[in-house]
Amino acid sequence: QVQLVESGGGLVQPGGSLRLSCAASGSTLDNYAIAWFRQAPGKEREGVSCISSTYDYIYYADSVKGRFTISRDNAKNTVYLQMNSLKPEDTAVYYCAARRGLNYYSNYIAPREADFDSWGQGTRVTVSS
C-alpha cells in the first residue's frame, strides 16, 4: 500500500494561491488514481479533484473549476493541486488519497471516499484576510 504525505498548506489572503503536494512512498504512483478531498469545519469531507493514472479522467468540483488544477509528476512520485483565486470558503483540511487502477471514466463523476484505500494525514489551508 502506498503511503502519502501532503504539504503546502498554510494561511493565505483571499485571491492568493497555494500549491499542495502529495508525495508518495512505498510504491510508484504510475498506476494509481489520486484524489484531493477537503473537509471544512463542521462539514463533511468532499471530493475536490481527481486524476486517473492514464489522464483520461480528470474531475473538478464545480466550486473549484477554473481555479484549481490537478497535475501529477510520476518521475517525482508526486501529485499537485494548484489553487488560485482562493476564497474564504476554500478553508479546509485537504487530504490526498490513492487507489490503484481506479478510473471513473466520466469527468462528471465525483470521487468517492470509500473507493480510496490510501490516505495522507492532511494539510490545513486557511484563506483569510
Alpha-carbon distance of 34 to 98, in angstroms, equals 5
Return the biggest CA–CA distance within the chain. 41
Cα-Cα end-to-end distance for the chain: 40
1-50 pLDDT, tens digit each: 899 999 999 999 999 999 999 999 999 999 999 999 999 999 999 999 99
Section 111-127 average pLDDT = 97
70-100 pLDDT, tens digit each: 999 989 999 999 999 999 999 999 999 999 9
**Residue 83 and residue 18 in contact, taking contact as beta carbons nearer than 8 Å:** yes
Kindly state the cell numbers that stand for 32.
494509481
**Rounded (10°) CA dihedral 68, 43, 95, 110:** -60
Strands (E), the chain: 3-7, 10-12, 18-25, 32-39, 46-51, 58-60, 68-73, 78-83, 92-100, 118-119, 123-127
